[in-house]
């Protein structure tokens, strides 16, 4: 029972929920006919948020040295921002 | 030199604080070398992601048509499979640190099964696309599709191999101390494979779906 209440399981539930939400947004989003770019941006933003969670919790970057955390966060911010900007422009 | 890099990436904890009994809450997983590789690999994929979107701007119709031809439920299935595998590896790492070899081995076996399922689903997907007349030379969207997913599939195969070696070592060398480096390296590598797929799935299957 303790394993089911552990942080990895909680993180995993969030990751699965975020995946299903991003698929729903991409396939049946309620953003209207002009909302495709917004849906694309949201799907990518969710993907990079998931990547952040995987890195911080599963790869244990959260507990590592500041330099590693900064480099990892820089990857998320740089490529997340660039891809969302390109997908929505 | 290696120690300098490790010192830069790592906390300045003395080795005594990284002994097995202290690793329930580690200061840093794996070794500096694997992180240099992982961050480099992630950056190469990141450049691919940007190139994909830049090219999509030049030929939006081809990318929209290509994305519509992909079987996104299979992509979703593989996403769930990899997320399950990441949870299994996270739990295996924890069990290994606690010295529970049988549980570690069971979790790693389940992880390798997830790797095999991912490969089987991807093979089925490739088969569907090839039957429809698609190939890496069909158009730019499918060039990106086959190259990105193909390279990623190679990562899954390597990761599955690492997990199986880890499982083998967990049986023959009981105790966290002797296996720490390899176990954490395999764990970080496997999670990177999951991390990259999460973005690849959004990029190829979802962004230009509508």
pLDDT values of chain B reduced to their tens digit, one per residue, 210 residues:
444 444 444 443 333 333 444 444 445 666 788 999 999 999 999 999 999 999 999 999 999 999 999 999 999 999 999 999 999 999 999 998 888 889 999 999 999 999 999 999 999 999 999 999 988 888 999 999 999 999 999 999 999 999 999 999 887 755 566 677 889 999 999 999 999 999 999 999 999 887
Contact B29 A26 (CB under 8 A): no
The answer to whether B41 and B119 have CB atoms below 8 angstroms apart is no
Nearest C-alpha of chain A: how many angstroms from B164?
A: 19
- Reported ipTM: 0.92
The per-residue pLDDT for B175 is: 59
Which residues from chain A sit within 8 angstroms of residue B84, using beta carbons?
Answer: 12
Which residues from chain A sit within 8 angstroms of residue B80, using beta carbons?
Answer: 16, 19
pTM of the model: 0.88
Contact A68 B72 (CB under 8 A): no
Choose among A6, A47, A79: nearest Cβ to B46.
A79
CA–CA dist A76, B132 (Å, integer): 35
Which residues from chain B sit within 8 angstroms of residue A9, using beta carbons?
Answer: 87
By CB neighbour count within 10 A (0-12 exposed, 13-18 middle, 19+ buried), where does B179 fall? buried
Contact B26 A36 (CB under 8 A): no
Minimum CA–CA partner of B36 in chain A: A68
Minimum CA–CA partner of A26 in chain B: B206
CA–CA dist B162, B193 (Å, integer): 12
Contact A22 B202 (CB under 8 A): yes
Site from A26, A43, A58, A63 to mutate, B interface, most B CB atoms within 10 angstroms: A58
CA–CA dist B115, B95 (Å, integer): 20
Beta-carbon pairs below 8 A across chains A and B: 134
CA–CA dist B94, B100 (Å, integer): 9
- The percent helix, strand, coil of chain B (3-state, each to 5) is 80, 0, 20
| Residue B133 falls in which region: left (phi positive, over 0), alpha (psi -120 to 50) or beta | left
């Amino acid at each position: 029972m303790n394993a089911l209440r552990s942080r990895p399981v909680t993180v995993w539930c969030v990751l699965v929920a975020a995946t299903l939400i991003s698929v729903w947004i991409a396939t049946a989003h309620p953003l209207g006919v002009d909302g495709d770019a917004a849906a694309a941006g949201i799907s990518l933003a969710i993907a990079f948020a998931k990547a952040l969670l995987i890195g911080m919790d599963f790869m244990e970057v959260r507990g590592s040295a500041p330099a590693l955390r900064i480099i990892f966060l820089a990857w998320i911010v740089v490529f997340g921002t660039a891809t969302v900007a390109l997908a929505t422009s | 030199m290696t120690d300098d890099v490790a010192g830069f990436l790592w906390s300045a904890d003395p080795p005594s604080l990284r002994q097995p009994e202290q690793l329930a809450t580690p200061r840093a997983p794996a070794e500096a070398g694997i992180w240099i590789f992982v961050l480099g690999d992630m950056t190469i994929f990141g450049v691919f992601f940007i190139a994909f979107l830049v090219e999509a701007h030049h030929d939006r119709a081809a990318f929209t048509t290509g994305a519509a031809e992909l079987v996104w439920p299979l992509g979703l299935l593989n996403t769930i499979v990899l997320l399950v595998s990441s949870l299994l590896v996270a739990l295996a790492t924890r069990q290994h640190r606690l010295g529970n070899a049988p549980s570690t081995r069971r979790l790693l076996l389940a992880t390798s099964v997830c790797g095999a399922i991912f490969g089987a689903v991807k093979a089925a997907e490739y088969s569907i696309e090839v039957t429809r007349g698609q190939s890496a030379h069909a158009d730019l969207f499918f060039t990106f599709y086959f190259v990105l997913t193909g390279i990623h599939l190679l990562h899954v195969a390597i990761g599955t191999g690492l997990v199986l070696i880890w499982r083998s070592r967990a049986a023959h060398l009981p105790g966290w101390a002797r296996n720490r480096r390899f176990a954490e390296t395999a764990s970080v590598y496997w999670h990177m494979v999951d991390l990259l797929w999460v973005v690849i799935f959004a990029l190829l299957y979802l962004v230009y779906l509508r």
